[in-house]
Amino acid sequence: MNTGSIVFDGVWKKFQRGEHHDSLRDLIPSLVRNVIRRRDPSALRADEFWILRDVSFRVERGQALGILGRNGAGKSTTLKLLSRILKPTKGEARVTGRVGALIEISAGFHPDLTGRENVFLQGAILGMRRREIEDNLGKIIEFSELADFIDTPVKRYSSGMNARLGFSIAAHVRPDVLLIDEVLSVGDLKFQQRCQDRLRAFRQDGVAIAFVSHNMQAIASLCERALLLRPGSTPMLGDVSEVIAQYASGAAATEDPRITLHEAVLTHTPSGSRIEQDISPGTPITLTLRATANADLPRCSLQLWVHRSDGLSIFDGVSFTDGMPAHALSAGESFEATISITPNLLKGLYTIGVSLVDPDRLWPNLVLPSVASFVVTDNLRWGGCAELNPVYRLRVPSRAAGRRSAPAAMQSIAS
């Protein structure tokens, strides 16, 4: 493979569960097994497990890779392998150039030192020279918005303050490679937005970024590719919209015993073709549900909600408020429900949820969470969640008045 900013080539990583030796009889066989294991890294003992299996990817300069997966899938382990905190069991993990890493909130911080002193300590750990730290100290403090607390020991900082200071230092390392874990989620909304803006600026400057997050909206807005780690299955590497849609589909099952959901299909309106790629803002789509009622559901109406992947509620409405009469479903009866919408939304991953509800509230709502998801692609807008189709006009009244009076002035001069 050619040299790149980030290379993960056929990496396997295993961990050992805790082991306690009560006697010499237990210890000697364990030592023998360790010797054998060193000769054959592929051997897996009963007390070991693979956290990563044959994972490969590369990130070139100016690219950003989002790394997804449920808790325990190996996301943070991947970053620790890249930052050389851990060594692969098999394969190769390497980076080229200066690395800025923010993997754990207080990693590299000494709790008894002040924020200012920890800037110098963490900066040195990240490879900055003292003069370089001094030149950037004011910018680091300003970005972190911790000027009032910079001379306070960090053991008195909240987790959000630690994250602010840690990211501010990493953001001023001038890295060639940036490794960012989920720690940014502990900051407030304004600071998270500033971090996102800084990450986009890094990309434009040619920095290679590996970004771990459960915030699908952040990954969709920053990354063009994503890696989905699936314990026990082959990792999925591909276009960010395809990967996050696959990740979101894992929550599409219903467990309410009152209904059996057979199929949930999202199609283009009116062609009826399945949605398999990103859609543009304002694309009409239709959700079709096919299910069987396992209990009597009198006075049944549909409730629709749409959420963005970061939890923002985009829409929540009920069919009876839009004039559709309630229907009575009997136990054992199969039915089909269709809901057509025009999501005039901006770039992001959106999930659709449907509930069966009784307008009179005589039986509990039956929730079908996240039955479908779709990705909106958009390259024109700076941010936001809705496409407002703006019409821009710029008018200078004084100039308009001057043009209207020009003929009269010319006539006066001519006379």
The pLDDT tens digits of the residues spanning 362-409 come to 898 998 867 888 888 877 887 788 999 999 999 898 876 666 555 544
| pLDDT tens for each residue of 130-143 | 999 999 999 999 99
| pLDDT tens for each residue of 153-208 | 999 998 888 888 988 888 888 888 999 887 666 566 677 778 888 888 999 999 99
Is residue 256 a contact partner of residue 268, using CB atoms and an 8 Å limit?
A: no
Fold for the domain defined by 252-376: Coagulation Factor XIII; Chain A, domain 1 (2.70.50)
**Confidence category of residue 214, pLDDT binned at 50, 70, 90:** confident
Which pTM value belongs to this model? 0.63
Domain with CATH 3.40.50.300 in the chain: 6-246
Is residue 368 a contact partner of residue 355, using CB atoms and an 8 Å limit?
A: yes
Q: At 240, phi and psi to the nearest 5?
A: -60, -40
**Confidence category of residue 338, pLDDT binned at 50, 70, 90:** very high
Domain with CATH 2.70.50.60 in the chain: 252-376
Kindly report the CATH number that applies to the domain delimited by 6-246: 3.40.50.300
d(CA 229, CA 236): 7
DSSP 274-326: B--S-B-TT--EEEEEEEEESS-EEEEEEEEEEEETTS-EEEEEEGGGGTPPP
pLDDT at residue 413 is higher than 50: no
Percent of the chain with pLDDT over 70: 83
Residue in this structure with the two tokens 């950003």, named with its chain if needed: 64
Coil/strand/helix, residue 7? strand
d(CA 66, CA 43): 31
| pLDDT tens for each residue of 53-82 | 999 999 999 999 999 988 788 998 999 999
pLDDT at residue 251 is higher than 50: no
Average pLDDT value over all residues in the chain: 84
